[in-house]
Structure 1
Amino acid sequence: MNHTYTSDSIQSLGILGGVRAKPASIGLESHNHTFLEILGNSIDEHRAGWGKEIIVTKHIDGSVTVRDFGRGVPMDQNKAGDWSYKKVFDELWAGGKYKNNEEDGGSYQYSLGTNGVGATGTNYTSDFFQVSVYASTAKVYQVEYEKGVETSDGIQIRKNADKIAVGTMITWRPSSEVFRGKSEIDDEFIITTLQDQAIVNGGLKFLFQNERLGEEQVFYFQDGVKDYIKSISSEEHSLTDVVAWTTEQKGKDNDKDKDYKIKADIYFSFNRETSFSRYYHNSSWLENGGTPEDFVKNSFTFVIDKFLKDQNLYAKGEKKISFDDVEDSLLIVTSTYSTISLFTDQTKKKIGSDFMKRAITAWLREQLEVYLVENPQEVKLILTQVLVNKRSREKAEKTRLDVRKKLAGTVNNLTARIDGFINCKSKDATKTELYIVEGKSALGSTKQGRDAEFQAIYALRGKILNCLKADYDKIFRNEIIVDLLKILGCGIEVKSKHAKNLNTFDLNNLRWSKLIICTDADVDGFHIRTLLLTTIYRLMPTLLEEGRIFIAESPLYEITNQNKSYFAYSDREKEEIVATLKLKGNVLIQRSKGLGENTAEMMWETTMNPKTRNLVQVMKDDVGLTQQYFEMFLGDDIQSRKQYIEENLHDYIENGLT
């Protein structure tokens, strides 16, 4: 290492070199971010009243084209003789959106782009960057850059002989040298972005053409956010229609600042089962929230709590609601705008405004109070549901603490504490197997018939609970299930919105490579097997999806010939074995006994020896169908269950299906 530090150590990359070396220095956080910058300028044109469609094309070489039908970027010379296109595409902090807050509104009033950085930054960080502008003057302007440097041909100007529609078309490919090997904007990012922008820009159509896949997708909502909320709302569980409010106000953050305009569009509805929240500012999705998230939380919590108190709906001594209880049943989208930039950085993922927070909170509280007063039917449904959410959340939290306490401990101290559990010697979770067997009667033969090095046993004590119908608190009062969860060690995963804080699942903590369900080959055995699968499906569905669950088939018949035993797992297999053995003398056929009556040798040979056992893996592809049947046979859908029986009972009677 050279420890000298002198004047000769100081280097300058220049503006272009600096941006290419450190794109984050101007707020470009990734190759995908460049798409937001170019698309944002086209969206701003639409918001200013120009253009109703934007076409995005992903080319075979990975480059992307954004074509709008706005006024077209000014490309010619200004009064001072400077070329405008150079300021737009080749000069940082130069643009046409610095006067948005002026009295005349400038060229734009509410714009996504404000800093004059995005287009130039994208140009600087791309392998190539091509601009074509079809101007209202019937001229076509074209300019190309390579790695941020204008090509030697310079700008090309010609007549629009083909009368191509006015607008701007920009094609670029991010440079892998700049973005750590990334040179292609991700398809999914484009799709997600266009979906978002179609939501918040009602009436603006986005067309995505993917040349590599030969596909086209259209993103369009005539009424924007309102249509989108309707599309994601569960109609049968809807509590209210979509409510839409808007306000425009003017003010400042403090006495020393200049006044600026803000606009807020609020859309919401309440639903028993569906919830959703999304905040936008000047069309940019605020992934990190900020001011809109603050005024929504404050207003909804304050007003709903006030109405709950006024109507004496709280129980005596009950704690007040939190926004979580409201949010669980709320679908809300806010779209705010400002004539000055409120973004906290170039990524445009968060905004901060004291004026907006004060003004919109006061306005939104007032609107909510009027709405609840004027809609008594809706308010009754909303207040009831919020209290249900609150009480369910509190109940789930109590259950979570109880479960956490119950599941504490390691596998090393479980053997003595869990009735029916026999551990194995190995601790290697890539090799160990857990056999879940039916009843303590099976414990003796399976324990003696196993390989104690890697096979552990858990014998169930009686029939297990139907977890698909039971509440979580009832499930976790069941000692058999709690003991099973302790043995597995991977925690639980919960789908219920009210019990989401119960999620502790981590597949890496699973102590076994295989979970093998082993029951008698009779009706009771099949029932226990089904209930076990239901428990896993309800509490640990990932184990099914990852193929960790197996069923050990027990033989139906033991066939003896010349003092040697053969085992058949089906009637057809029995007939095939008997037909072969009859040539060798008398054949004795016995219906196989239950696991508890099998010898250790028989258990090892038929059920536990990896070389000879029959294991049926519950495959990932089966999960969807399994879910359908679980819900039908063990859930609350009684009508579907009746219909299935009516349509299929004859098959079971006529063909002996089980």
Structure 2
Amino acid sequence: MSEELNNNYSTDSIESLGILGGVRAKPASIGLENNDHTFVEILANSIDEYREGYGNKIIITKHEDKSVSVQDFGRSVPMDINSKGEYAYKKVFDELWSGGKYSNNNGDGNYLFSLGTNGCGSTGTNYTSDFFEATAIAPNGYKYYIKYEKGLQQTELLKEKHELNYTGTIIRWLPSKEVFRGLSEINDTFIHSKLKEQSIVNKGLKFVFINELKNETTEYYYENGVIDYITELNEDKNFTDIIQWESESKGRDNADTDEYRLKTELTFCFNNEVNHMQYFHNSSWLANGGTPEEFIKNSFTSSIDKLLKDKYTKGEKKVTFNDIRDSLIVISSTYSTISLYSDQTKKAIDSKFMKDSVTEWLKNQLEIYFIENPVEADKIATQILINKRSREKAEKTRLDVKKKLQGTVNNLTGRIDGFVNCRSKDVTRRQLTLVEGKSALGSTKQGRDAEIQAIYALRGKILNCLKADYDKIFKNDIIVDLLKLLGCGVEIKSKHNKDLNNFDINNLKWKEINIVVDSDIDGGHILTLLLTMFYRLTPTLIREGRINVIESPLYEIVHNDKSYFAHSDAEKDSIVKELGNNVVIQRSKGLGENTPEMMWETTMNPLTRKQYTITEDELQEKYFDLFLGDNLTDRKGYIEDHLHEYLEEALD
């Protein structure tokens, strides 16, 4: 062997970091994901005070040293000596798995439905911070203060009389870079998002965020909680009223577990354009869902399927939750007297009792709602059927497109009518030139650099892709053949056709795509339709500057056996004026009439052609909508306002 084995592993190799050292070395062992997560743990305790009816405001401050403080106006954290002669602050800030929320389920606890439950948050935050300070303004008229550095107590418990007219707790801390891989400052965006979330499910609780580093103050407050938030989301596009239902129950997940109390609040409405789903448990946002996601999915799918029973066509498949979700705004907020979280991060919960009981309750509620509100029920049924049939149509289109676009350029040369490949296989050099009609194919083919320039002759004008639906677009052979040649797939914006998205610019078979058109009205029309197609199906190619426009000259002016080319009447007149007498002017009859030599000199030669690079800035959405969309009123207005400019140019 190249290296000797290490035989020094023995009883002396076993070490102990201790509890403090272990938490600082591996904060994830107690559920602390990162430095931002410490903010959630401290904020949760203040929110629990509000939920018990103490205080209606929480002030969060980011200080100039980048530490954060959270101040509430609750009963204050107990700090003094208890009946056993123990300091309470040591259990809260310096002892894992201790706290005041373990007796919630038997009715003896101080917090019935608490966000913090495991007794790790405050201690874990203390242990993983460079410094940690706790101030308690107690109802007994005393103010308490304690300070830690890297989890070690620095002061005795300071206690003094106060004459303040409020009570509460202030926690200030700075996460340690040593613990969190060089990160100490809690992210502003994270703070804003958490305060927004908590203001939604804690109606009437005001959060004030003071950022001393940016000299700004932000408030989060929803007087009616979830209802106000959904009103904000709706953007006045909801077609049903906002409904909120509440229930309470008791049960157990299996015979070997304790019975616990469960509260459920479910708020929803249906919207034509906006959809949103969010779940909270004991005020914690369930980013990974779990049980609430299941009972919402099962209840709404089953109930709406019954609603649609007489509306399905013969043989039609049943509705899926995806069809419902497209038009549903729903927020669930559940509460339990025992912890149902999967872990300390509180991002998901799992409960058989909750799933079964809430699903049954919610199905009954929906059935009654549909019976008592037939007008809204019919609106919901109609919209969900539209979603369903649009999804099914989109899926059929996706499969058809996938089938049609299978293959590569190399094995398609004999199968795409009007396509002539180039010799090079080097994608960094290959160019695809688009011309109109097979009449242009001969001269273009002969007047090109056959090594790197491929030609595709379009067979007539293509669709206006801005107005056509995707099903019609992908039935157009010209467009499908062109997409095969590109090889990069398509980009779809429509929510019902998003599964068609398979665009990858790295699969593009060409360095650039050149659109060659005549410098006349017909050429302009063809160019507009092609650019519209790229804008609708592959906008990234435009944005990345991979689309070029090349104008074939409108006139050839011969003087003393030398040819000059003009792309407009104005350019022609300027050349004639400069050359003087003895000129012969020939108007181009189209690309097909050009000689190979003329094609190379004026169109195919990169050094002499008149070329434009099309970028997204030059193709703004409003102009596509104005000129090619359904905006007839504005289009007429534009013509009325600008027609004189085009007439004056023509007369000149």
Q: Distance in 1 between matches of 2:333 and 2:459?
A: 57
Q: Tell me which residue corresponds to 1:451.
A: 449
| 1:628 maps to amino acid | K
User: What secondary structure is seen at the aligned counterpart in 2 of 1:298?
Assistant: helix
Q: Distance in 2 between matches of 1:275 and 1:128?
A: 43
How far off is 1:266 after superposition?
A: 0.7
2:590 to 594, 609, 622: 594
User: What secondary structure is seen at the aligned counterpart in 1 of 2:104?
Assistant: coil
Match status 1:64 vs 2:68: yes
Q: Distance in 2 between matches of 1:372 and 1:458?
A: 57
1:102 to 106, 110, 122: 106
Kept in 2, the 8 Å contact 1:252–1:355? The answer is yes
Q: How does 1:575-654 map to 2 (within 5 A)?
A: 594-622=590-618, 626-654=620-648
Deviates more, 1:65-74 or 1:39-48: 65-74
How far off is 1:382 after superposition?
A: 1.1
State the TM-score, normalized to the length of structure 1. Answer: 0.90
| 1:551 maps to amino acid | V
Q: Tell me which residue corresponds to 1:467.
A: 465
- Do the aligned partners of residues 434 and 234 (structure 1) sit closer, same or farther apart at CA in structure 2, a change above 3 Å counting? farther
| 1:483 maps to amino acid | D
Kept in 2, the 8 Å contact 1:234–1:273? The answer is no
Kept in 1, the 8 Å contact 2:275–2:326? The answer is yes
Q: Tell me which residue corresponds to 1:144.
A: 147
Deviates more, 1:181-190 or 1:259-268: 181-190
Match status 1:220 vs 2:238: no
Q: Tell me which residue corresponds to 1:244.
A: 244
User: What secondary structure is seen at the aligned counterpart in 2 of 1:334?
Assistant: strand
User: What secondary structure is seen at the aligned counterpart in 2 of 1:273?
Assistant: coil
How far off is 1:568 after superposition?
A: 4.9
User: What secondary structure is seen at the aligned counterpart in 2 of 1:235?
Assistant: coil
Q: Distance in 2 between matches of 1:277 and 1:538?
A: 29
User: What secondary structure is seen at the aligned counterpart in 1 of 2:308?
Assistant: helix
User: What secondary structure is seen at the aligned counterpart in 1 of 2:105?
Assistant: coil
Q: How does 1:281-300 map to 2 (within 5 A)?
A: 281-300=281-300
Q: How does 1:394-433 map to 2 (within 5 A)?
A: 394-433=392-431
| 2:31 maps to amino acid | G
Kept in 1, the 8 Å contact 2:519–2:567? The answer is no
Q: Tell me which residue corresponds to 2:207.
A: 206
Q: Tell me which residue corresponds to 1:232.
A: 233
1:628-655 Cα offsets, whole Å, 9 max, x none, are 2222332233333334344444444455
2:349 to 331, 334, 351: 351
| 2:510 maps to amino acid | W
- Do the aligned partners of residues 557 and 130 (structure 1) sit closer, same or farther apart at CA in structure 2, a change above 3 Å counting? farther
| 2:317 maps to amino acid | K
Q: Tell me which residue corresponds to 1:375.
A: 373
- Do the aligned partners of residues 571 and 61 (structure 1) sit closer, same or farther apart at CA in structure 2, a change above 3 Å counting? farther
- Do the aligned partners of residues 400 and 155 (structure 1) sit closer, same or farther apart at CA in structure 2, a change above 3 Å counting? same
Kept in 1, the 8 Å contact 2:289–2:349? The answer is yes
1:492-517 Cα offsets, whole Å, 9 max, x none, are 22222222222222233222333333
1:113-147 Cα offsets, whole Å, 9 max, x none, are 11111222223223333333444445443333333
Q: How does 1:569-580 map to 2 (within 5 A)?
A: none
Specify every segment of 5 or more residues in structure 1 that has no aligned partner in the other structure, as ranges.
none
Q: Distance in 1 between matches of 2:312 and 2:432?
A: 48
2:54 to 45, 50, 55: 50
1:344-398 Cα offsets, whole Å, 9 max, x none, are 1111111111111111111111110110000111111111222222222222222
Q: Distance in 1 between matches of 2:316 and 2:520?
A: 51
Kept in 1, the 8 Å contact 2:263–2:335? The answer is yes
Q: Tell me which residue corresponds to 2:117.
A: 114
How far off is 1:464 after superposition?
A: 0.9
| 1:259 maps to amino acid | E
User: What secondary structure is seen at the aligned counterpart in 2 of 1:173?
Assistant: strand
Q: Distance in 2 between matches of 1:405 and 1:294?
A: 35
Kept in 2, the 8 Å contact 1:438–1:520? The answer is no
| 1:324 maps to amino acid | N
Q: Distance in 2 between matches of 1:578 and 1:176?
A: 76
- Do the aligned partners of residues 629 and 219 (structure 1) sit closer, same or farther apart at CA in structure 2, a change above 3 Å counting? farther
Q: What percent of counterpart residues are identical?
A: 62
- Do the aligned partners of residues 640 and 229 (structure 1) sit closer, same or farther apart at CA in structure 2, a change above 3 Å counting? farther
1:132 to 100, 118, 135: 135
User: What secondary structure is seen at the aligned counterpart in 1 of 2:518?
Assistant: coil
User: What secondary structure is seen at the aligned counterpart in 2 of 1:361?
Assistant: helix
User: What secondary structure is seen at the aligned counterpart in 2 of 1:616?
Assistant: strand
Q: Distance in 1 between matches of 2:243 and 2:282?
A: 21
How far off is 1:19 after superposition?
A: 1.9
Q: Distance in 2 between matches of 1:385 and 1:208?
A: 41
Q: Distance in 2 between matches of 1:402 and 1:546?
A: 28
Q: Which has the higher Rg, Structure 1 or Structure 2? A: 2
Kept in 2, the 8 Å contact 1:128–1:173? The answer is yes
How far off is 1:405 after superposition?
A: 0.8
Kept in 1, the 8 Å contact 2:517–2:524? The answer is yes
State the TM-score, normalized to the length of structure 2. Answer: 0.91
Q: Tell me which residue corresponds to 1:26.
A: 30
Q: Distance in 1 between matches of 2:367 and 2:476?
A: 45
Match status 1:529 vs 2:533: no
**C-alpha root-mean-square deviation of aligned residues, in Å?**
2.9
Kept in 1, the 8 Å contact 2:59–2:207? The answer is yes
Deviates more, 1:346-355 or 1:255-264: 255-264
Q: Distance in 1 between matches of 2:638 and 2:130?
A: 61
- How many residue pairs end up in the alignment? 648
- Do the aligned partners of residues 551 and 70 (structure 1) sit closer, same or farther apart at CA in structure 2, a change above 3 Å counting? farther
Kept in 2, the 8 Å contact 1:275–1:331? The answer is yes
Deviates more, 1:355-364 or 1:599-608: 599-608
Q: Distance in 2 between matches of 1:358 and 1:12?
A: 45
How far off is 1:262 after superposition?
A: 1.0
User: What secondary structure is seen at the aligned counterpart in 2 of 1:516?
Assistant: strand
Q: Distance in 2 between matches of 1:486 and 1:66?
A: 59
- Do the aligned partners of residues 12 and 479 (structure 1) sit closer, same or farther apart at CA in structure 2, a change above 3 Å counting? same
How far off is 1:279 after superposition?
A: 1.2
Q: Distance in 2 between matches of 1:576 and 1:157?
A: 94
- Do the aligned partners of residues 572 and 26 (structure 1) sit closer, same or farther apart at CA in structure 2, a change above 3 Å counting? farther
- Do the aligned partners of residues 410 and 255 (structure 1) sit closer, same or farther apart at CA in structure 2, a change above 3 Å counting? same
Q: Tell me which residue corresponds to 1:434.
A: 432
Match status 1:188 vs 2:189: yes
Q: Tell me which residue corresponds to 2:385.
A: 387
- Do the aligned partners of residues 377 and 576 (structure 1) sit closer, same or farther apart at CA in structure 2, a change above 3 Å counting? same
Deviates more, 1:327-336 or 1:1-10: 1-10
Q: Distance in 1 between matches of 2:221 and 2:202?
A: 9
Q: Distance in 2 between matches of 1:173 and 1:620?
A: 45
- Do the aligned partners of residues 38 and 528 (structure 1) sit closer, same or farther apart at CA in structure 2, a change above 3 Å counting? farther
Q: Distance in 1 between matches of 2:84 and 2:453?
A: 85
- Do the aligned partners of residues 198 and 558 (structure 1) sit closer, same or farther apart at CA in structure 2, a change above 3 Å counting? farther
Kept in 2, the 8 Å contact 1:651–1:657? The answer is no
Kept in 2, the 8 Å contact 1:519–1:526? The answer is yes
- Do the aligned partners of residues 17 and 528 (structure 1) sit closer, same or farther apart at CA in structure 2, a change above 3 Å counting? farther
Q: Distance in 1 between matches of 2:152 and 2:306?
A: 62
| 1:8 maps to amino acid | D
Q: Tell me which residue corresponds to 1:515.
A: 513
User: What secondary structure is seen at the aligned counterpart in 1 of 2:16?
Assistant: coil
User: What secondary structure is seen at the aligned counterpart in 1 of 2:289?
Assistant: coil
- Do the aligned partners of residues 53 and 594 (structure 1) sit closer, same or farther apart at CA in structure 2, a change above 3 Å counting? farther
Kept in 1, the 8 Å contact 2:519–2:568? The answer is no
How far off is 1:467 after superposition?
A: 1.6
- Do the aligned partners of residues 9 and 389 (structure 1) sit closer, same or farther apart at CA in structure 2, a change above 3 Å counting? same
1:598-633 Cα offsets, whole Å, 9 max, x none, are 44444444444444444433334445xx21222233
